[in-house]
Homo-oligomer: A and B are copies of this chain.
Amino acid sequence: MENFTFFNPTRIEFGTGKEQLIGRHLAEHGVKKVLLCYGSERIKREGLFDLVSKSLSEKGISLVELGGIVSNPVISKVREGIALARTQQVDAILSVGGGSVLDSAKAIAAGVPYAGDVWDLFAGKARIASALPLFAILTLAATGSEMNPSSVVTNDETREKFFIASTALFPKVSIVNPALMQGVTRDYLAYSAADVIAHLIEAYFTATVHPRLQSRLVESLLNTIIETTEALLADPADYDARAQFAWAATLALNGLSYSGAAGFSYPNHAIEHSLSALFNVPHGAGLSVVVPAWMKWYQERNPAQFTRFARNVFGVDTGEQGIAALEAWFAKIGTPTRLGQLGIREADLPATVDNVLGNLRVFGIADSYPREAVVAILTNAL
């Protein structure tokens, strides 16, 4: 087991009705005026916006709206949010939505007190010294952003999808009410499952040190995601399944699953970020294509862990069977497993590989993934 620091000060308020107390949480942090970030107008149609507005106004907190944040969120929208937050002199950011809204909110929170252009923070040209306090009401469980200090945003000019991380970006309070997620489509549920599974397997397979305790925790979360995704596809109103799915998604990327592991990396995310940056595919759909392709390429580098995965997650005997079982499961729940299903053709590979090589440098693993490796992995996904 490697040395590590575990520090996660986010307060999770989990369960039904918790969003009704958002005003109280902001008031406890002294917030007077907040930038409310959201995506589509769905939160207005379904009443969540009114409920949040009412809770805020009861505590004398005024709000400024920033709607229209899209999946695979873009830095141009973040810049718009920073300008608005400055003009309106808000003292906190509130995200109401899924991971894309929350990651945009984090970038805005970091960008407001930074004098230069916010992309500098993503490009490694400047460090995050401080951020506005951040709060979240989650409406889609997938990214884990509600209990971690990271944000991923795409530069819509350069088509780079990069990330930032800073302890200043832990949400102060994240409200996770599974009932708010009941309207998630079958497609997005499947993409979300693929995203969570990808978060869990990156360190599980790539770490040079991965103690059995951590492997067991990861397998507990993997088995929960698989079981509850199937339950939700059978019955979208199954609150308990949705709740376990949501909490497993949070725990998958809050530091727990890789504490004490060492030498791990995020190759699947590095590769997928190029697919969503270049072709604007849903992140989870990209991951369900990349993960099996990467596993087939990587397996021989850590065969014992692939056998362990096969046995403890799918109840099959060999590493190959485990990969095949995961790929078949992705297909069964309705998330893509081939680049063609994303509309990406063989002719698109050269430009994709170039973008992936840039991401691999950002992720610090360019040496382990030379061009021919990336070509081999993407070819596995054709």
**B223 and A216 within 8 A (CB):** yes
Which chain B residue has the least Cβ–Cβ distance from A215? B220
Given A6-B14, A14-B259, the answer on whether A1 and B247 have CB atoms closer than 8 Å is yes
| Complex Cα spacing A240 to B10, Å | 29
| Complex Cα spacing A212 to B230, Å | 14
Is A5 interfacial (CB 8 A cutoff)?
yes
Is A358 interfacial (CB 8 A cutoff)?
no
Which chain B residue has the least Cβ–Cβ distance from A173? B7
**B244 and A212 within 8 A (CB):** yes
**B11 and A7 within 8 A (CB):** yes
**B14 and A5 within 8 A (CB):** yes
**A213 and B12 within 8 A (CB):** no
Given A211-B240, A256-B256, the answer on whether A224 and B220 have CB atoms closer than 8 Å is no
Is A227 interfacial (CB 8 A cutoff)?
yes
* Chain B neighbourhood of A8, CB < 8 A: 8
Is A334 interfacial (CB 8 A cutoff)?
no
- CB interface residues, A 157-180, toward B, < 8 Å: 178
- CB interface residues, A 230-262, toward B, < 8 Å: 239-240, 243-244, 247-248, 251, 256, 259-260
* Chain B neighbourhood of A227, CB < 8 A: 212
Is A18 interfacial (CB 8 A cutoff)?
yes
| Complex Cα spacing A243 to B2, Å | 9
**B211 and A220 within 8 A (CB):** no
Is A368 interfacial (CB 8 A cutoff)?
no
| Complex Cα spacing A44 to B18, Å | 50
Given A213-B247, A259-B247, the answer on whether A12 and B3 have CB atoms closer than 8 Å is no
- CB interface residues, A 22-61, toward B, < 8 Å: none
* Chain B neighbourhood of A247, CB < 8 A: 1, 213, 259-260
**A216 and B220 within 8 A (CB):** yes
Is A13 interfacial (CB 8 A cutoff)?
yes
Q: How far is the CB of A124 from chain B (nearest CB, A)?
A: 25
| Complex Cα spacing A216 to B240, Å | 15
**A5 and B16 within 8 A (CB):** no
Which chain B residue has the least Cβ–Cβ distance from A12? B6
| Complex Cα spacing A244 to B251, Å | 19
16 CB < 8 A contacts A-B: A1-B15, A1-B240, A3-B16, A4-B14, A5-B11, A5-B14, A14-B260, A211-B243, A212-B224, A213-B248, A216-B223, A217-B220, A219-B220, A243-B260, A247-B260, A256-B256
8 tightest A-B contacts by CB?
A: A3-B15, A216-B220, A1-B243, A7-B11, A6-B12, A9-B9, A213-B224, A213-B244
